[in-house]
Amino acid sequence: MTNTDATQPTTSTRSAVVPVALGLATGLVALVTGALLLRTYGPGNMWAGYIVGASIALVGFGFALWRVWRHPGSTTTAERAVTTIADERDRAVSTRAAAVVGATALPLTGVAAIVIAVGVDPVATIGVLLWVELAVLITAFAVANRRM
């Protein structure tokens, strides 16, 4: 008997979810291991920030996995791109966005180095650099998704 209900996961979707679930499990192991290492050897409360950031990332990936599993027909390009069911277009959008981030990362890092050299707090500068690179990634992904 074939699966005719569009809301139910298909066999190909189920087989694609297994590697993603293993990736989430590996991410959880990395979260715990990194947090323990930072708690022991890291400065101040860096471990707490690491736990928050890694947890947000894992929850985001878990949500994308759930959407791909339960509603494969209504997933977005970003959700398909972070799971294993991405098609050629999804991969092309991801590749273009990553290329833009790669092209802008070196100049942005150079600007951050100059800003640190003139006396601005390094921690704040690196924090701003990470947020700017994240904004570049999101913008590049959205633009590539619209144009393709």
pLDDT above 70 covers a percentage of the chain that reads 88
Cα–Cα distance for residue pair 65/113, rounded to 1 Å: 38
Residue pair 64/16 in contact (Cβ under 8 Å)? The answer is no
- CA angle, corner 20, sides to 67 and 135, nearest 5? 70
For 89-128, write each residue's pLDDT tens digit.
Answer: 999 999 999 999 999 999 999 999 999 999 999 999 999 9
Residue 1, pLDDT > 50, answer no
Cα–Cα distance for residue pair 57/68, rounded to 1 Å: 17
The residue among 81, 77, 133 whose CA lies nearest residue 103 is 133
Q: Which residue ranges make up each domain of the chain?
A: 1-86, 87-148
Range from 6-20, 57-71, 106-120 carrying the lowest mean pLDDT: 6-20
Identify the residue with better confidence: 87 or 101: 101
Look over the chain and give the mean of its residue pLDDT values, rounded to a whole number. Answer: 87
